[in-house]
């Protein structure tokens, strides 16, 4: 099988608003130059959805409780079982 990364930008309006506010705040604190650059798919961050869960072991390696069908004592408890990220650090969802 081949790994396919389906990446698309989302929440760009929110990012632009946050960047504007942060730039204004940092300048008010005395930072004369504030640089920012959004990342793209070359710099992946907070990857999710690498291990599908489902009810059929023929199409999903994990059951609905994140337990591996092939290894009954193996649970995936990282971002792999999440279908997608919420556009922010998924640590709280993982916890």
Domain ranges of the chain: 10-38, 44-95
Of the candidates 83, 93, 95, 86, the residue with the CA atom closest to the CA atom of residue 53: 83
Question: Is the pTM higher than 0.85?
Answer: no
Q: Which two tokens stand for residue 87?
A: 């556009």
Res 2: pLDDT: 78
The per-residue pLDDT for range 3-43, each reduced to its tens digit, is 777 777 777 888 889 999 999 999 999 999 998 887 777 76
Q: pLDDT for 37-88, tens place per residue?
A: 877 777 666 777 788 899 999 999 999 999 999 998 999 988 888 877 766 7
């Amino acid at each position: 099988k081949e790994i396919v990364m389906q990446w698309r930008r989302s929440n760009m309006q929110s990012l632009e608003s946050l960047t504007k506010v942060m730039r204004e705040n940092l300048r008010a604190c005395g930072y004369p130059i504030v640089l920012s650059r959004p990342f793209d798919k070359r710099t992946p961050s907070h990857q999710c959805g690498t291990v599908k869960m489902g009810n059929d072991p023929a199409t999903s390696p994990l059951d609905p409780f994140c337990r591996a069908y092939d290894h009954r004592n193996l649970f995936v408890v990282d971002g792999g079982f999440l279908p997608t990220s919420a556009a922010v650090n998924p640590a709280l969802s993982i916890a």
